Amino acid sequence: MYNPDVLSRRGFVAATAGLALRPAFAQPSDLTSLTLKQASDLLRTKRASPEELTEACLKRIEKYDPAFHAFITITAEQARATAREREVRTGRWRGPLHGIPIALKDNIDTAGIRTTGASELFKDRVPAEDAEVARRLKDAGAVLLGKLNLVEFAYGGNPTVTYFGTVHNPWALDRTPGGSSSGPGAAIAADLCFGTLGTDTAGSVRNPAANCSIVGLKPTYGRVSMRGVIPLSWTLDHVGPLSRTVEDTAILLNVVAGYDEQDPTTVDVPVPDYTRALKMPTAKLRLGRPAAFFEGADPEVGKAVEAAIEVLRKLTAGVTDVELPSIGNPAQVWGPEALAYHAKWFAESPEKYQPATRRQLQQSTEEKAADYAEAVRQVELARREIRKAFRSVDLLITPSTLTPPALIAETPPPGGRGPGPGRNNHVPFDVFGLPAISIPCGFTAAGLPIGLQIVGAPFAETTVLALAHAYEQATEWHLRRPPLV
């Protein structure tokens, strides 16, 4: 069984192999400080149990989450019961997620556990079936700790737009953790769980990852099933993992990726072992730098990302400037599609929506069918056109966000069609449907996180993960922990 004193004296032995830390960073002191992979290794070698991991997470949630509001629902007793069933000593090992405590964004259906979308409208909604991704995680042996807060119905990035209380950033309580996956971002940064899933329609996985100094991956459109996830935009929605490291992200993606014959958005493309991708050589990779995605960047963000690019130059075949095609106006896609899903409830109970959500849905009632049809057509054209960019490069490199985490009181309203001043560096890659990851690459002088975005060709998650892992191993940004926890 886990003994923190023994593990500390042994330097965490294999559990923390490769985590030689400089004095500036905190040494892991308990189970919740471990990465998903390290925790999994402890379980498999029977140096800790699923029950111990689960209890450690629940105690940490009890201690810290009142300040962060990352959770909407905590399934403590169910998690404890599942952990007892997941005991590894029986020999029925299901893989790296066996016995690992996770949590899910609360727009992902969980059978018998309420799924609210962070809205008063759905505050008592209890699905009868799991979303496909929840089912896969359950089958892989994961232990569900509960459901995580978000911007209402994933519509925007302002963490105050939720029926269940504003989510705060563990790096600074007055700063946004990003959105719409605000709860997942805060939960991983604060070590409340070992992994989670978020959704990404306009950056909602990568934005919290950048703001919370964690890893967030948006896979290729169609790589992961959306069935059983409350939709924002059928044309642009993605599900992706958030975790502490690139390796943990690969482990999660291994489980949730794959064709779902009941989800028409998924594509029947073979799923590789993403953890093996971490060993891929990167020396021959050609990187593209789209200049428009750097315009208007905060000076500290720009400096940190340029320093990251210098590291990447040494790991790859070099960096060249590239231009990317136009993406049109994706708001004319997600607006009408959101309204289509909510039309009945919005007509009957508009007062049950948060004011910001209500305004956006109301605006969509004024959209013309012709404009929507043309906007969807532009998305399809953009997804074809973007493939040309990968004739001369293998990956694209940009700042994940152009600014550090904003003050919650000053969080900008939804919007931002693409790169440039005041724009969103994430939206274009939802439109293009490309795999994109945000990883930590620095901090401002005030200690606020900065993220680097790496983007690949369609279904090239292995290449994205390979370079992200190489950069992660060449730097130490991912080892730094929030001062508040």
**Which of the residues are catalytic?**
105, 180, 204
Q: Report the C-alpha gap between 118 and 72 in whole angstroms.
A: 8
Q: Output the CA angle 151-153-155, nearest 5 degrees.
A: 65
Residues 228, 233, 235, 241, CA torsion sign: negative
Residue type, 235: T
Q: Determine contact, residues 224/257, Cβ cutoff 8 Å.
A: yes
Read off the amino acid at residue 356. A
Query: What is the number of other CB atoms lying within 10 angstroms of the CB of residue 14?
Result: 13
Whether 113 and 144 have beta carbons less than 8 Å apart is answered as: yes
Q: How many Å apart are CA 429 and CA 443, to the nearest integer?
A: 24
Phi, then psi, of 448 in degrees rounded to 5? -95, 140
Long-range contacts of 75-81 (CB under 8 A, 24+ apart): 75/113, 75/144, 75/145, 75/146, 75/147, 76/145, 76/146, 78/113, 78/144, 79/54, 79/143, 79/144, 79/145, 79/146, 80/51, 80/54, 80/55
CA distances from 370 to 187, 284, 326, 352 (A): 41, 45, 19, 30
CA distance 134 to 197: 9
Distances (CA, A) of 173 to 64, 213, 221, 243, 263: 12, 14, 33, 20, 39
Q: Which amino acid is it at 402? A: L
Packed helices 36-44 and 50-68: angle between N→C axes, nearest 10 degrees: 160
Say which residue the tokens 């959105």 belong to.
179
Question: Exposed (0-12), middle (13-18) or buried (19+): which is 255, by Cβ within 10 Å?
Answer: buried
Distances (CA, A) of 413 to 118, 155, 427: 18, 11, 15
- CA pair distance 158, 151, nearest whole angstrom: 6
- β partners of residue 407: 175
The reply to whether omega before 438 is within 30° of 0 (cis) is: no
Position 262, amino acid: Q
C-beta separation of 117 from 126 below 8 A: no
